[in-house]
Every structure is written in C-alpha cells, then in structure tokens.
C-alpha cells in the first residue's frame, strides 16, 4: 500500500481544489496536484493525491476507482515510483547469469 495515489482519466475541467475536495472525504489530503502540459498549460488528465496515512489512501482508492466524475470514469491506483537510471534488478527480469548485481561481467 502507498500513501500517494495516481488518479487518471480526470475531466479536463477539474482543478486542484476540486480534486482535493473530492478526496478529502476519505482522510487528510497532504497534497493534490493535477499534471499540466508545460507548453499549452492544459491538464494532461491525471494527477497525484497524497494522504496522511496508507489506510486513508486505501479507503479513497477503493471508493473512487471507477467512479464517475463529470462524465468520466476515473482510475485511482497506488502511485509507483519512477525508476531512476542504472541497472534495475527485479523478480520478473533477473540479470543474466554472466553479470553480478553491480552489473560487472563475470565471464
């Protein structure tokens, strides 16, 4: 579980304030930020909402995922961290046996 949620398929008319009001019914909203295009300054249709606790975020996710807002069914999911450069080791795609965890060639 996470305290920060990704909210997708937002109505383009939604503001940070209206987003915060929507999610405040489920707990303490630390931040609610709609992402805007840096050139056109229009909403990209998604946002991030951070709660005070993981439990509050889970309650909001369960209640609002798939709910209709201004004619659009919004998607509410746990926000995932953006990967930062380097070699990523995970359970789905382990490193080749010829490389160690630091990415050094072993043979």
The pLDDT tens digits of the residues spanning 17-61 come to: 999 999 999 999 999 999 999 999 999 999 999 999 999 999 999
Cα(24)–Cα(87) distance, integer angstroms: 39
The pLDDT tens digits of the residues spanning 53-105 come to: 999 999 999 999 999 999 999 999 999 987 766 655 555 555 555 556 566 66
Q: Measuring CA to CA, how many Å separate 106 from each of 92, 95, 101, 103? A: 21, 12, 10, 9
- SS3 label, residue 99: strand
CATH 3.30.1490.20 fits 4-78, yes or no: no
This prediction's pTM: 0.76
Q: Where are the domains of the chain?
A: 4-78
């Amino acid at each position: 579980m996470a305290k920060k949620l990704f909210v997708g398929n937002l109505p383009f008319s939604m503001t940070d304030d209206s987003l915060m009001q929507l999610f405040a019914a489920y707990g303490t909203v630390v931040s609610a930020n709609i992402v805007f295009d840096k050139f056109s300054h229009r909403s990209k249709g998604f946002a991030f909402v951070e709660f005070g606790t993981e439990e509050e975020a889970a309650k909001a996710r369960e209640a609002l995922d798939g709910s209709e807002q201004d004619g659009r069914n919004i998607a509410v999911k746990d926000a995932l961290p953006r990967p930062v450069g380097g070699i990523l080791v995970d359970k789905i795609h382990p490193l080749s046996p010829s490389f160690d965890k630091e990415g050094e060639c072993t043979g």
